[in-house]
Structure 1
């Protein structure tokens, strides 16, 4: 028999992601907008279109926005244009400053004639989310936290984890739409709560990648094979998101195309550490993780993939963690 806590957790999760493709309710009568068609935003917008939702899209790169026309999207000429044609606007933007600009700048969503709900899929951080939510509320609009985790592959497949907070009525209303992206967990009713959860998640993810990178490089120096190390780690207590996904899929093949820039990893770590300082919580390990991410960003460039953090450790140690096939080709 489930405990009351387990029952509450079960109720907070929506139905599986493919719900949006099999059941249509009143939300289909609304028009939707999507701002920000980057590595995450583009596949997420496409999932809404595949589900049959009416979607207007906007990105500063018009050529990217136009790739969705064949899927049924309408390309907005500006934020104002999108705001005239959408009842609910989703945002997937790279930085808190970008979120503020889209929402609060002249011609932004605060001034939109129609948009009544703004759903933030970005990693904005709780302070900026709270600030923007208040300004939008004063303008008669509703803000919903909805940051995501799961990477580009999860965005394409609709298997993301979504950390939602805000107005309970709107969250319930939009649940079938949000289900197109993945599994929804309602973490609070206040603006910023979802983003608090997200920055905690992202720092932990980066920490797992950082320590796994160091340990696997050490293992190579000690003569251990990467595939063997991962097999053992994934059967034992060292198992984490880096050993199960990032290292085998993006590091061993040498592709480094997980799809999340190292500069964004550094930014997310900063947001979490700032909250730690604000709340008086020491973040000793977190600060070390951020330092390594900053070194990788400065060494490899801000657009380098986050999985390339291991290349910094490899350079220091003089050992490389690659799959047998990749290593053999390099030797040839």
Structure 2
């Protein structure tokens, strides 16, 4: 069976690694990004360059996107030079974290045109993207999911969340809220211990053998905070965007987000203090600064 030609729009830290895995798996690949430095390595590895999402969709059967914000996803998918305007592609897979409302808009527009869009946000960071070990949450028509499952299997483990557009996005927002909340509250707990004279590595060891263990104490503190590299690989601005989306969506659904709102504020302070491009583990530095100690 001939492999489909794939298109990939958005070659940032996540997208570039996912695109390379698809290329290395033997899929013909067409790529597009506004940053030439992101496109060149994939072209050198055998991908074909396109100048716009529309051109990608003129050349590919299936188009994947990994994009930073809901507005960018809307423009890439539905804009005048977007994927929906292409003549060949019949399926658009959005790997971004955008919230359910954008997924519903995109899904409805593609369905009206006789095509299909699936929202497929991913979790696992740049390490998971490079290793093909992402968790991929997918929602949309089941037959379309079954058709594209082999493509997504190159990138990680898939979880079918339902046929309603946006269901995968809700699950991804919930996951990212939990990750950010764990980082924020663990920063407060570890800083408290350090101020009392405890060793932060010992604290993480004990916490991870106890009921307080979480993704921050198990991974982010040992890898990026205690060594003071603050380079876990996820930008503060993106984490803030995800948590803001989660809180906004929850409020629209009538679900209270008391703790989530506090996490959103902590990320807003971190972004204002260290910049949106800082690593989101910098949230620990905010707590350090307030407490007058250093982990």
TM above 0.5, one fold?
A: yes
Moved more, 137-146 or 296-305: 137-146
Which of 58, 64, 67 matches 2:41?
Answer: 67
Q: CA–CA distance in 2 between the matches of 1:139 and 1:235?
A: 53
Residue deviations 1:232-271, cap 9 Å, x none? Answer: 0111111111011111111112111122111111111111
Cross-structure match for 1:3: none
Cross-structure match for 1:95: 69
Cross-structure match for 1:240: 214
Matched, 1:202 2:176: yes
Residue deviations 1:97-123, cap 9 Å, x none? Answer: 110010111111111111110001000
Matched, 1:108 2:82: yes
Give the alignment's TM-score, normalised by structure 2: 0.98
Kindly report structure 1 stretches of 4+ aligned residues shifted beyond 3 Å: none
Aligned length: 295
Q: Secondary structure in 1 aligned to 2:13?
A: coil
Q: CA–CA distance in 2 between the matches of 1:53 and 1:250?
A: 35
Cross-structure match for 1:132: 106
Cross-structure match for 1:180: 154
Q: Secondary structure in 2 aligned to 1:304?
A: coil
Q: CA–CA distance in 2 between the matches of 1:127 and 1:66?
A: 33
Q: CA–CA distance in 2 between the matches of 1:134 and 1:124?
A: 15
Q: Which has the higher contact order (CA 8 A, sep 6+)?
A: 1
Which of 98, 121, 130 matches 1:156?
Answer: 130
Matched, 1:271 2:245: yes
Q: Which runs of 5+ in 1 are unaligned?
A: 1-25, 322-332
Cross-structure match for 2:202: 228
Write the mapping of 1:1-332 to structure 2, written as runs, cut at 5 A: 26=1, 28-321=2-295
For the 8 Å contact 2:235–2:280, the answer to whether it is kept is: yes
Q: Which runs of 5+ in 2 are unaligned?
A: none
Deviation at 1:183, TM superposition (A): 0.7
